[in-house]
Amino acid sequence: MIDRFLRYVRFETTSAEDAATTPSTPGQMVFARALEEELHSMGLEDISLDDNGYLFATLPANTTRQVPTIGFIAHMDTSPDMSGANVNPRIVNNYQGGDILLDSKEDIILSPLQFPELNDHLGEDLIVTDGHTLLGADDKAGIAEIISAIEYLQQHPEIEHGCIRIGFNPDEEIGLGAHKFDVEAFGCDWAYTMDGSEVGELEYENFNAASARITIQGRNVHPGYAKGKMLNALRVAAEFVASLPTQESPEQTEGYEGFYHPTSVSGTVDKAIVSLIIRDHDHDTFVRRKAFIQRMVDGLNDRFGERVATAEITDQYANMREVIEPVMYVIDIACEAMSRAGVEPRIRAIRGGTDGAQLSFMGLPCPNIFAGGMNFHSRYEYVPVQTMQKAMMTIVHIAELVAQR
């Protein structure tokens, strides 16, 4: 599994938000074709890779009993937040604490002073970067774990299991991973994304999410003759951002607490645009948050006596909890599988989104399971080998339990 993972991270698969194609970057299709070839070499069935980079395959059932068809899903792209080119991983064996020097020339250090979770992995083997790229455990660890679990089941025919489908998709990091996912063709009763972080994570709640684009139309005249005439759109934009509740920002919230998060301000005196995201786990509170942004915009228009500002608020995804709760046995099975793998389940809400949320509302209940990566999207990303092994065996035990139950 580790050799497989180290091979995968060397594929450059960074996705791109401004692309008009699927996948958004050609490297993702290169990686998909390599995976397709590997799946063929393993003797899997019903292997398909479509023009959009969605790769599906089947491990047939080894039982004649009626067993639900389940799926395991991971994404092939890595985040555009950090370079994914020329990834150079290495293994720190038997980590004993303290700083890990990633690059001596530039003094790039992975330290428990900044990342105290390192202390949870004393005595383990950590795969790290050279400090100049992300690692790509998000989500190539998930891919390696899924394929290795399938290989394990092939090597252990005494483990009875039903039909298992695997799916690898592009562009999750730019929010488009599920958009062209053919749920009907995937053909599962339910599935799991292997895209969580720390060992034991099991997530079936996520934010309700919306984006907001506030356009402010100013009035520009020569600054020397501007008194009583100019309306500086940049100043209005700055005032708008400053009026957002400070205590309801990402840096001030945790757990189930929602937030407003301005992501960019751009423009000139004549016209400015503020982009922000709105998040909350509770649906009613989420609706109130969107209404609050609209009231702020209405207040600007009332203040200036004209249509200075407009708001374009767009829903992005919803909390999958409402889809999962009627089929909570999919969570019970995952918890029992983790226990069999020597893992204590940690059920928590995702402070973000997941392909599984969108897939759940597309008719495929799909909670999220840990893959092991830490410090995603950064040069400080790492993954413990032992966590990957436990994730792999969790997949094996899920397949086993579904057949047993």
10 and 124 inside one domain: yes
User: Is the pLDDT at 353 greater than 80, yes or no?
Assistant: no
14 and 122 inside one domain: yes
Q: Yes or no: say if 312 and 246 are a contact pair by the CB < 8 Å rule.
A: no
**Number of folded domains that form the chain:** 2
| Tokens linked to 293 | 């942004």
**Residue 171 catalytic?**
no
Q: What pLDDT was estimated at residue 306?
A: 84
Q: What is the DSSP letter of 215?
A: E
23 preceded by cis ω (within 30°)? yes
Closest CA to 217 of 295, 292, 304, 296: 304
**Cα separation of the two ends of the chain:** 28
268 and 131 inside one domain: no
> Domain of 253: which CATH number?
3.30.70.360
Q: What pLDDT was estimated at residue 354?
A: 81
264 and 362 inside one domain: no
Q: What pLDDT was estimated at residue 18?
A: 86
| Tokens linked to 33 | 């074709």
Classify burial at 100, counting beta carbons within 10 Å of its beta carbon; exposed 0-12, middle 13-18, buried 19 or more. buried
295 and 343 inside one domain: no
User: Which residue range forms the structural domain that includes residue 31?
Assistant: 2-206+320-404
User: Is the pLDDT at 405 greater than 90, yes or no?
Assistant: no
Q: Please state, in angstroms and rounded to a whole number, the distance separating the CA atoms of residues 376 and 79.
A: 8
**CB-based contacts of 25, cutoff 8 Å, min separation 6:** 13, 14, 15, 16, 19, 77
Q: What pLDDT was estimated at residue 19?
A: 92
Q: What is the pLDDT of residues 315-348, one digit of tens each?
A: 988 999 999 999 999 999 999 999 999 999 999 9
Q: What pLDDT was estimated at residue 385?
A: 98
200 and 220 inside one domain: no
Q: What pLDDT was estimated at residue 316?
A: 85
Instruction: Exactly one of 12, 77, 280, 336 is catalytic; name it.
Output: 77
Q: What pLDDT was estimated at residue 35?
A: 98
What own/partner pairs with CB < 8 Å and gap ≥ 24 does 117-123 have? 117/198, 117/374, 120/198, 121/95, 121/384, 121/386, 121/387, 122/95, 122/96, 122/97, 123/94, 123/95, 123/96
178 and 71 inside one domain: yes
| Tokens linked to 307 | 């249509």
54 and 138 inside one domain: yes
Q: Please state, in angstroms and rounded to a whole number, the distance separating the CA atoms of residues 249 and 268.
A: 26
Point out the domain boundary residue: 262, 288, 317: 317
**CA Rg, the chain, in Å?**
24
Classify burial at 282, counting beta carbons within 10 Å of its beta carbon; exposed 0-12, middle 13-18, buried 19 or more. middle
102 and 34 inside one domain: yes
38 and 25 inside one domain: yes
Q: Yes or no: say if 128 and 90 are a contact pair by the CB < 8 Å rule.
A: yes
Q: Yes or no: say if 343 and 390 are a contact pair by the CB < 8 Å rule.
A: yes
The sign of the torsion formed by the CA atoms of 355, 80, 377, 76 equals positive
**CB-based contacts of 168, cutoff 8 Å, min separation 6:** 32, 35, 54, 55, 73, 74, 75, 76, 143
Q: What pLDDT was estimated at residue 149?
A: 98
Point out the domain boundary residue: 292, 317, 342: 317
Q: What is the pLDDT of residues 120-166, one digit of tens each?
A: 999 999 999 999 999 999 999 999 999 999 999 999 999 999 999 99
pLDDT band per the 50, 70, 90 thresholds, residue 110: very high
Q: What pLDDT was estimated at residue 113?
A: 97
Point out the domain boundary residue: 268, 292, 317: 317
368 and 342 inside one domain: yes
Q: Yes or no: say if 161 and 405 are a contact pair by the CB < 8 Å rule.
A: no
Q: What pLDDT was estimated at residue 157?
A: 97
Q: Concatenated DSSP letters for 378-403?
A: STT-EEEHHHHHHHHHHHHHHHHHHH
> Domain of 30: which CATH number?
3.40.630.10
Q: What is the pLDDT of residues 22-71, one digit of tens each?
A: 999 999 999 999 999 999 999 999 999 999 999 999 999 999 999 999 99
Q: Please state, in angstroms and rounded to a whole number, the distance separating the CA atoms of residues 73 and 372.
A: 15
The distance from CA 336 to its chain's CA centroid, rounded to whole angstroms, is 24
Q: Helix, strand or coil for residue 336?
A: helix
Cβ-based neighbour number of residue 208 at 10 Å = 25
**Residue 107 catalytic?**
no
Q: What pLDDT was estimated at residue 5?
A: 98
Q: Please state, in angstroms and rounded to a whole number, the distance separating the CA atoms of residues 306 and 291.
A: 20
% of residues, the chain, pLDDT over 90: 95
Read off the amino acid at residue 225.
Y
pLDDT band per the 50, 70, 90 thresholds, residue 362: very high
Strands 271-280 and 259-267: antiparallel
37 and 186 inside one domain: yes
Q: Yes or no: say if 174 and 24 are a contact pair by the CB < 8 Å rule.
A: yes
Instruction: Exactly one of 172, 205, 355, 400 is catalytic; name it.
Output: 172
